[in-house]
Amino acid sequence: MAQLKVKPSKLSGEVTAPPSKSYTHRAFMIAALARGESKITNPLLGFDTEATIEAARALGAEIAREGNVWRVRGTGGRLKPRVDLIDARNSGTTIRMMSAIAALSPKPVHLTGDESILKRPMGPLVEALEKLGAKARCEGANGRPPVVVGGGLRGGEVEITGAVSSQFISALLLAAPYALEDVKLTITEELRSKPYVEITLELLDSAGVKIRRNRSLTEFKIPGGQVFKPLELTVPGDFSSAAFVLGAAALTGSTVRVNNLDVRGAQGDRRIVDLLDEFGAEVRVKGKTVEVSGNGELSGIEADCGNNPDLVPVLAVLGSVADGRTRLTNIPHLRFKETDRLRALATELRKLGAEVEELPDELRLEGVGQLRGARLSSYGDHRMAMAFAVAGLAARGKTIVDGAESIPVSYPGFVKDMRKLGAKMELVE
């Protein structure tokens, strides 16, 4: 198990945001289903996205790399699985979306993953695929993986909850155009993480897919028998990952610039720019560069994070020291990530001296001004590891984060970038 040793630090300088994990996953999936050759430039190469690339190959796509450009010759929706088992590793995006895509296979495909993945809810998606005509089942208890799917989609009408994971909705949107008949998809309960569905729709639109939807994204009418056109995409920078760097600047009273961030794009986590401003940091946006200057005086905020769950870890760290109360609300779905992130944040931030109240669907933090170093567990979760590393930059004494080997899931260059900015951070394998 790798450890990250962190000491109090001031930061300065600039780095480039890593490519978006969300866009990379979806681009390779759509390319795998398209007819013809897609060109994907600057994808994120992390543990999760590599699982998706291997899954695309396993289902029949031909994928070749030329430097920073990847060429994908798709299947046109006629999947020809090369293996019977797909390993999603630690990637919830991979197992959920690839389960829907694999439902188009003429023969059964098994999908599994690591210990964390085997605890992730899959029942609502598998039931929806069954209603659309696929042969689909969960082999784990209570609608958990492994999953077995195949047989193709007939079409029809189906409902699915939006409260557990937006990945269910994205998964169905990726596969439904290849159903034999039209599909009507209705979302019940609140659609959380809505911006991720918007990213899926943006890329499907680019592939020429016809999907009629209402403004609230609760009803979709999808003509069957479609075939995706090839994609040509340069993957944008990732706000979810950049948030840790920008948040670190606000926390430590430093000035940092992050390049390759498009505040006009579809990523919901671009909201970090506004939230850091609410905390009291000075934020400047020029073109695709975001600069954050911390002044050492942060004030607590209240934020509904239902659409921005990946920002909660770094927001919780900021709230633990910001003057007054911080409330991060509408986040019950954080309990179904790589770990129960609400429980993990509350447990580990308390070790740093933070005052945290954990509720079923929110975190409340009373700022303590100064954290103290401690030994923390990341629970094998990349966002926990990075959040606690950021906390250590402003904690008195040394902080040790166990389980730092998970960081390359979403931000392989995190430690290198932070050290470039002046962070006293050492990765010990």
- The 10s digit of each residue's pLDDT in 13-59 is 999 999 999 999 999 999 999 999 999 999 999 999 999 999 999 99
Q: What is the pLDDT of residue 408?
A: 94
* Interval 235-244: pLDDT, tens: 999 999 999 9
Does residue 132 come out as left (phi exceeding 0), alpha (psi in the -120 to 50 range) or beta?
Answer: alpha
Contact 372, 352 (CB under 8 A): yes
* Interval 203-226: pLDDT, tens: 999 999 999 999 999 999 999 999
Confidence of residue 125 (pLDDT cuts 50, 70, 90): very high
Catalytic residue flag (residue 277)? no
Give the residue among 379, 411, 371, 404 at the shortest CA–CA distance from 389. 404
Q: What angle do CA 422, 412, 102 make, to 5 degrees?
A: 160
Q: What is the pLDDT of residue 295?
A: 87
CA 33 to CA 403: how far, in whole Å? 35
Neighbours of 241 (CB within 10 A): 28
Given a cut of 90, whether residue 4 has pLDDT beyond it is yes
CA 246 to CA 226: how far, in whole Å? 42
CA 83 to CA 38: how far, in whole Å? 23
Counting residues of the chain whose pLDDT is more than 70, the rounded percentage is 100
Which one of 48, 87, 269, 310 is the catalytic residue? 310
Strands 62-66 and 69-73: antiparallel
CATH class of 3-18+236-428: alpha beta
Give the mean model confidence (pLDDT) for residues 324-351. Answer: 96
The sign of the CA dihedral 358, 123, 200, 67 is positive
Q: Reply yes or no on domain 21-219 having CATH 3.65.10.10.
A: yes
Give the mean model confidence (pLDDT) for residues 373-395. Answer: 97
The residue ranges of DSSP E strands in 59-197, in sequence order, are 62-66, 69-73, 85-87, 109-112, 135-138, 147-150, 156-161, 183-188
Given a cut of 90, whether residue 1 has pLDDT beyond it is no
Q: What is the pLDDT of residue 398?
A: 98
CA 273 to CA 146: how far, in whole Å? 38
Counting residues of the chain whose pLDDT is more than 90, the rounded percentage is 98
* Interval 287-320: pLDDT, tens: 999 999 998 799 999 999 999 999 999 999 999 9
Residues 6+ apart with CB under 8 A from 281: 249, 250, 292, 293, 294, 295, 298
Q: What is the pLDDT of residue 209?
A: 98
- pTM of full prediction above 0.85: yes
* Interval 194-209: pLDDT, tens: 999 999 999 999 999 9
Domain span(s) for CATH 3.65.10.10 in the chain: 3-18+236-428, 21-219
Q: What is the pLDDT of residue 429?
A: 87
Q: What is the pLDDT of residue 296?
A: 79
Give the mean model confidence (pLDDT) for residues 70-84. Answer: 97
Q: What is the dihedral of CA 245, 248, 254, 256, to 10 degrees?
A: 10
CA 75 to CA 279: how far, in whole Å? 48
CA 308 to CA 341: how far, in whole Å? 13
Give the mean model confidence (pLDDT) for residues 118-126. Answer: 96
* Interval 136-165: pLDDT, tens: 999 999 999 999 999 999 999 999 999 999
Longest dimension (CA), the chain: 62
Give the mean model confidence (pLDDT) for residues 65-72. Answer: 97
| % helix, strand, coil for the chain, step of 5 | 35, 25, 40
Q: Whole-number mean pLDDT of the chain?
A: 97
Give the mean model confidence (pLDDT) for residues 176-191. Answer: 97
CA 270 to CA 304: how far, in whole Å? 15
Looking at residue 259, the DSSP 8-state letter turns out to be E
